[in-house]
Amino acid sequence: MNATSFYLKLLDDIAVPMSEIKKARTKRDELAAVAVAALDAWAVTATGFFRSGALAAGTQIKPLNDVDLVVYASTIRTAWKDAPQQALVDLCAALRAKGFECTLSTHAIKVTFPDVSFTADVVFGCTHPEQGLWIPHCPDAEPHEWIRTDPQEHARQIRKRNNDIGVEFARQIRILKVLNQKWSLADPDGRKPISSHHLSALALATIHTSVTYATTTPAFLDRAAELVLRPLPDPSGVGPDLEARDPERAAALMQAAASETRRALVAGEDAGRILEGVFGDPATTLAAIYGAPLSVAAGGGLTIGTGTRGIGSGRSYGDAA
């Protein structure tokens, strides 16, 4: 298999079926309407919501684990001013009163649905008078505070880059996400070298012309290996700089992958074998991460469950929000 065929097959393997994308969009928007109604009941002003995260930017990969949305207001309740987590507590209680199951995380409310496998992350933000939002930042065992960010601008920039150079830009990010997931398997804590947001920001910083997966992938990895060694300004211009947990390790992984993906360019039909060594089998990688049963195939490789992996249900790539 040549390099072009490998990347196209990889994209097909990780594509979320359009039926699931449509269901996720419906669930997300219905939840948003309930959350905005809760804000309106508290008489805060200028409420609304917007879609954020991978599904809004068109960078989602299989399995679809969560959908993201932001609900906002231009004013907040008095009790929230010095206790940002209280905003999440109150909104979570309002969602529970409407029958939703939810828990709190550092920045958001995680909502679990009874009939689908994906969850939803609901972020509350108070609109900043200039740009973006103030959102709660409430990590365990650390002081809680309001921090400034602009997730809507981040998704807008990805969609604009898609419009400017083609939807292959978002699909290139999907390819890179699989690689980032594979790297997490070798991490003692099972964590990715860089966050998905950081990865997308690196793509925005480095990919400005039309994408050809076989050549764009090594070019991105070479440049990203340099950029990840230092803080990267947030693409929106208002959020904190983005940093890898271990910049040296992240850079080394990217450099090694750049070398191999570049070697595949001149390997002809042997490129598939080289690239499979870089990316692995995406279905097996993602199954290992998310706990699906694995078994050993006749040739000694890992496979999902006891059957063979089907291909073809994910031809609809879901590039819109």
List pLDDT tens digits, range 23-40: 999 999 999 999 999 999
What's the confidence (pLDDT) of residue 189?
83
Q: Given the DSSP bridges, would you call strands 66-73 and 48-52 parallel, antiparallel or unpaired?
A: antiparallel
Q: What's the rounded Cα separation, in Å, for the pair 274 and 262? A: 10
List pLDDT tens digits, range 240-272: 899 999 999 999 999 999 999 999 999 999 999
Query: If we measure between CA atoms, which residue out of 208, 207, 180 comes closest to residue 194?
Result: 180
Cβ atoms within 10 Å of 246's Cβ, excluding its own: 15
Structure confidence at residue 20 as a pLDDT band (50, 70, 90)? very high
Structure confidence at residue 303 as a pLDDT band (50, 70, 90)? very low
Q: Alpha-carbon torsion 171, 50, 89, 238, what sign?
A: positive
Task: Assign domain 18-153 to its CATH superfamily.
Answer: Beta Polymerase, domain 2 (3.30.460.10)
Query: If we measure between CA atoms, which residue out of 15, 111, 29 comes closest to residue 63?
Result: 15
Domain boundaries, the chain: 3-12+161-282, 18-153
Query: What percent of the chain has pLDDT above 90?
Result: 83
pLDDT tops 70 at residue 306: no
Structure confidence at residue 318 as a pLDDT band (50, 70, 90)? low
Structure confidence at residue 135 as a pLDDT band (50, 70, 90)? very high
pLDDT tops 80 at residue 65: yes
What's the confidence (pLDDT) of residue 289?
57
